[in-house]
Amino acid sequence: MKRLYLLLVFLIFLMARCDNKTIALAEDTSIDCIEVSYIESLCASAILKIQDPKYFHYGENVKGYQNVFFAHLPCGTGAKSERGQESRKILVKISTLPFSGNDCVQCTAVPSYDGTKQYFVKFVTECAAN
């Protein structure tokens, strides 16, 4: 009986400590829309290189590359590994919060990255004029 009482107290304690906050996602939480190229990607993440000097402050110098950041790619991006795709330029919106609709199960392997700057990205076909 004493064990049951202790277990019950422990469970109540755990439930009281549990914080059921959910992240509220806006449709568009983007900071900016920028042109990038792939340095390396694996599963649902990549190291992207910023092309426009106006946005270099979003990147950092890592692994011998300049103006790069770690990117969390959107659902359905694919699970293949890409290297050396610097000539392939793409437009992305970047955000510090996940974009809505990006709640799927994805491979969690990541490319090696020693930096601190990371963003969630969403692929776009054009950026609005600033």
pLDDT of 23 reads 39
In this structure, what are the phi and psi dihedrals at residue 11, rounded to the nearest 5 degrees? -65, -40
The pTM score is 0.69
CB atoms within 10 A of CB 106: 18
Rounded to the nearest 5°, which phi and psi values hold at 72? -90, 115
Q: Could you give the CA distance from residue 9 to residue 53 in angstroms, rounded to a whole number? A: 58
Q: What is the pLDDT of residue 21?
A: 40
Q: Across the chain, how many H-helices and E-strands are there?
A: 1, 7
Contacts of 87 (CB under 8 A, 6+ apart): 37
Query: In this predicted model, what pLDDT tens digit does every residue of 18-70 receive, in sequence order?
Result: 444 443 444 455 677 899 998 888 888 889 999 999 999 999 999 899 999 99
